[in-house]
Amino acid sequence: SPRSFQPNGASKEALQCEIEELKQKDLALDQEIAQLLSEGYSLEELDKHISLLHEYNEIKDAGQMLLGKLAVIRGVTTKQLYPEYDLDLSD
């Protein structure tokens, strides 16, 4: 029946849209890299910054996980712990 083909068609269409979005993101990133290179940044410097950002995010994730566990133990929200540790909610 035609209905049995609908999900596959929808899935194929969704995948094609996702592929197109990824191509656009790839192009935007290539343009951003070209802009940074034209401003005098080197690939090595950009790689170092990316590496440092990954490390920062991993450390931040671990801290968030610990705050979450502490909040559960204390029976409070994570948000309530921020002032106690001089943390900014936007961090």
Burial of 70 by CB count in 10 Å (0-12 exposed, 13-18 middle, 19+ buried)?
Answer: middle
pLDDT along the chain (91 residues), means of 10: 53 90 95 90 88 95 94 94 87 65
Residue 2 is assigned to a structural domain of this protein: no
**Predicted local confidence at residue 46, as pLDDT:** 85
46 and 86 within one domain: yes
**Predicted local confidence at residue 9, as pLDDT:** 61
Residue 23 is assigned to a structural domain of this protein: yes
**Predicted local confidence at residue 1, as pLDDT:** 44
What is the extent of the structural domain holding 49?
Answer: 42-90
32 and 47 within one domain: no
**Predicted local confidence at residue 21, as pLDDT:** 95
**Predicted local confidence at residue 7, as pLDDT:** 54
Q: What φ, ψ does residue 82 adopt, rounded to 5°?
A: -55, -50
Report the predicted TM-score, pTM, of the whole model to 2 decimal places. Answer: 0.53
| DSSP summary character for residue 15 | H
| DSSP summary character for residue 91 | -
Measure the CA–CA gap between 83 and 28, rounded to whole angstroms.
39
The domain total for the chain is 2
